[in-house]
Amino acid sequence: MPFPTDKLRVKPNDKVALATIDTRATPGWDADDKSGGIDHTASLNGRLEALQELLYAEGKHRVLVVLQAMDAAGKDGTIKHVFDGVNPSGVKVASFKKPSALELSHDYLWRIHAHTPANGELVIFNRSHYEDVLVVRVLGLIDDDHAKKRFEHIRGFEQMLADEGTTIVKIFLHISPEEQKERLQARLDEADKNWKFDPADLDARAHWHEYQSAFEEAMSATSTEQAPWYIIPADRKWYRNLAISEILLDVLEGLTMSFPTPADGLDQITIDDVSRAFGV
């Protein structure tokens, strides 16, 4: 049975209601079959590697994966596990932090556009221009009207990228506040995770509901045919990796790629043996 990626996709004009989506759900896989899910993801990873190589070799398509989520929802874990083994020459990660003074002196898409993928590249945005309608909104740096204007800009920007040959997939990792609490606690308790703890995450956590509504509005306003959002129940890390791998495979398989035609006469070429080639 094919994996139901369609069920995870936000259709254009859908009104997203995150509270109605179970963060522990596992659509398309038996929730009790974690080890089978992990094995399945490993097999998908092999296919992903092969398709990414084809993307790079063909050098025609551009793929952009946008990852957004609350802190500790698994953006870094997704990048580490889903893209495990892909060729780093053709895959780039762009992480967007608090903007610098220089970045703030430009429009909010300025720093983003510079990182969009070139031909043959797959670029993963770890946070993105969506922060400018999420954190910025929750902090009250822009009002509702301004946010609506930005939704329009973002739709236009993404439409332009798509029209010019970029395939866009946007992924929201949906976790519960209880799961976030456990993961943040682990960052405090486990020495090798201490480095991941950022006290600022607690400030964002204190505004949980405002973030959830900002995400709902942003995803409802910007999920289009060309640049759809997918909402991934992400409390179970193994399911998160499985679902995202399935979605990316769907997208890459949909590109109908092929290796470039070999140059004429390759079959006439003989590679000389070392002793003759070097005259020894």
Site residues, ligand AMP (CB under 6 A)? 71, 96-99, 127, 131-132, 135-136, 200
Of residues 17 and 104, the one with the C-beta less far from ligand AMP: 104
Tell me which stretch binds Mg ion (CB under 5 A): 20-28, 153-161, 197-205, 225-233. Answer: 197-205
Count CB neighbours of 63 within 10 A: 23
Alpha carbon of residue 28 to chain centroid: 20
Out of 71, 158, 179, 246, name the contact with Mg ion by CB under 5 A.
71
Label residue 3 left, alpha or beta by phi (over 0 means left) and psi (-120 to 50 means alpha). Answer: beta
Nearest-angstrom CA–CA distance, 88 and 142: 37
Picked from ligand AMP, Mg ion, none, the partner binding residue 107 (CB below 5 to 8 A depending on kind) is none
Dihedral of CA atoms 269, 270, 275, 280 in degrees, nearest 10, equals -40
Of residues 198 and 253, the one with the C-beta less far from Mg ion: 198
Residue 74 within binding range of Mg ion, rule CB under 5 A: no
Nearest-angstrom CA–CA distance, 135 and 238: 28
Residue 203 within binding range of Mg ion, rule CB under 5 A: no
Of residues 60 and 113, the one with the C-beta less far from ligand AMP: 113
- Smallest gap from Cβ 135 to ligand AMP, in A, equals 4
- Smallest gap from Cβ 267 to Mg ion, in A, equals 54
Q: Which helix (H) or strand (E) holds 94?
A: strand 91-95
Contact footprint for Mg ion (CB under 5 A): 71, 198
